[in-house]
Structure 1
Amino acid sequence: MRRWVLVGGIAVLVGAAVVLVLTGNTGVRYTADSDSTQPMWVRWIPVAVGIGLVRLLPWRLERTDGGTADRRQAWILTGLAVAFAVLLKLLGLGMFEVLKGLLLLLVPLAVFRWLGGKPTASWPTTVRWAPAVPVAAFLLLSYTGPLAAPVPDRLEFSGVELALVIVGGFLANSVLEEVFYRRWLQTRWEQRLGPWPAILIASIAWAVWHVTLQGRGEFGIDLASVLVNQGVQGLFLGYLWSRYRRMWPLITVHGAINAVPIFLSLG
């Protein structure tokens, strides 16, 4: 199964890129707050550099017990991820917060309580600030210099509205999504399949629900776009988690992806 998942996951991402090239839709939306696009391969460069630095600078001190693989939890969490993407598409963004809170937080916690065990497993121990180099490189390449995304359309927020958007988005999106897709879902598949098959599962599952958030009305193209954008970014986030088992790098990168376009649009 491990080999099939690895080959299948790679095929999904490569196939999505081929579809966009053949249809001339290689520009992908880099934020839900603007219709502006950026070439998909520009989005890949920070990811490639970040993964390369993680590989070169692991700073791993020791490996602890990886925990007991729980097939039931792995499949239940995968089903919840699929249900979130499908129901969000069917019911629309008006149900976004409700579905996310229910399917990505409350139901998983109930599952962990029902099936026993901790929501997370033991993992490798690393120097606490080891991920700072790949995280800094990713952010610098993504938001400064020639690879930086264009400034989005200007948004108008009062001080209170801006605070609510940033803080609420950080907790509901950056924190909750990284906890569910990487800390819970990816970890359980890692215990059964190893790192890269699990990273691919979590990355694709995380990407597909963005169709409803950033789609432009052509489902096939929209699906391919989120796979080559969020799906590829998920490889970096997943590799950070697999190598370092620290939440702050994931939350920092995810938070910047969501918040930086908003701050740029205020200028």
Structure 2
Amino acid sequence: MRNKRGYLGSVVLIAGLAAIAISAVALLLTSNGEVRYSADHSDTVPFWHRWVPALVGIGLIRLMPVGASLLAAPEPLVRPTKTRRIEALVLLAAAVLFAVGLRFAGGGEPAHTLLKLPLLLGVPAVLFWVVRRLNDVPVNGDRGGLTGRWRCWGPVVPVAAWLVLAYASPLAVPAGDLPDDDAVSLIAIIVVGFAVNSLLEEVFYRRWLQTRWEALLGAWPGIVLASLLWAVWHVGIQGTGFLAADLASVVVGQGVQGLFLGYLWSRYRMMWPILTVHGAINAATIVIALL
């Protein structure tokens, strides 16, 4: 079983990283490496503007003092059972259905919310209720990661470095245009967007989906799988209609950002770092425009 787990994990890891590399080369050859960074407009930036902050963040996480790290553990902290494999597969299916459904629904609202809430929240809620009824404890998303004070303070350095590079350096994306709303409405838009997008997505893709696939395949294969699944649904809201080009763009853009988010979760098992980063991805350009 261990050899099978290692083989499948290696296949997922190699295939996922290959998909990112091939997509990056394709973008360099077809669009000078430009990717969209927001669903609100069609503006683009070179993909390395998004890669550098993420890769620096990953490097800084790696350089932080290592305690009892999940990534160093030779075996999953919670051994997979048949029920947990079913959990992983059901969550995987929900992620795929969300990406495919949004693509065919044309993206935008209300399709985005009408698909996201039942698939990323409703399906897991029913799944976990059934699991509890079967008296089988699901994989605990809080187990693993670093212990002691570094679990609390370790994320500060990589998250702060990512914020500076992504939004206060020559690599920063341009400030967004402010919606034609009053201050109260604008704050409400940011708060609701944070709950529906940043919070729900991070709970689903990292806390629930990634944690279970880490237990089945290993840490980095789980990170890569969750990152690509998180990336591909963005085709539905950022796509131009050319599926191959759209997939390459989101795999290169959101996919690598997902690796940073996934590594933060895998190492620290704390929600605030990934919510800070994801919240900034969604709202920072508007906040910058307000300043």
TM range (shorter): over 0.9
Superposed, 1:23-42 pairs within 5 Å as 23-42=30-49
Whether the aligned pair in 1 keeps the contact of 2:69 and 2:267 (CA below 8 Å) is no
Whether the aligned pair in 2 keeps the contact of 1:58 and 1:243 (CA below 8 Å) is no
Within the candidate set 144, 151, 154, 1:123 is matched to 144
2:46 maps to 1:51: no
Superposed, 1:57-206 pairs within 5 Å as 57-60=64-67, 66-69=77-80, 70-92=84-106, 93=108, 94-116=110-132, 117-118=137-138, 120-121=140-141, 122-126=143-147, 127=149, 128-206=152-230
User: Partner residue of 1:248?
Assistant: 272
Kindly report the root-mean-square deviation, in angstroms, between the aligned alpha carbons of the 2 structures. Answer: 1.8
User: Partner residue of 1:5?
Assistant: 12
The gaps in structure 1 that reach 5 residues or longer are none
Q: Where in structure 1 do 4 or more consecutive aligned residues deviate above 6 Å?
A: 62-65
The gaps in structure 2 that reach 5 residues or longer are 1-7
User: Partner residue of 1:210?
Assistant: 234
- State the SS of the aligned residue for 2:170: helix
How many percent identity over aligned positions? 51
Shift of 1:199: 0.5
CA distance in 1, matches of 2:66, 2:154: 6
- State the SS of the aligned residue for 2:53: helix
Whether the aligned pair in 2 keeps the contact of 1:88 and 1:95 (CA below 8 Å) is yes
Shift of 1:61: 5.1
Shift of 1:206: 0.1
Q: TM-score, normalised by structure 1?
A: 0.94
- State the SS of the aligned residue for 2:35: strand
Whether the aligned pair in 1 keeps the contact of 2:224 and 2:259 (CA below 8 Å) is yes
Q: Structure 1 residues 45, 125: CA separation in 2 closer, same or farther (over 3 Å shift)? A: closer
Q: Structure 1 residues 62, 153: CA separation in 2 closer, same or farther (over 3 Å shift)? A: closer
CA distance in 1, matches of 2:221, 2:131: 24
CA distance in 2, matches of 1:100, 1:130: 32
CA distance in 2, matches of 1:115, 1:37: 44
Q: Structure 1 residues 58, 31: CA separation in 2 closer, same or farther (over 3 Å shift)? A: farther
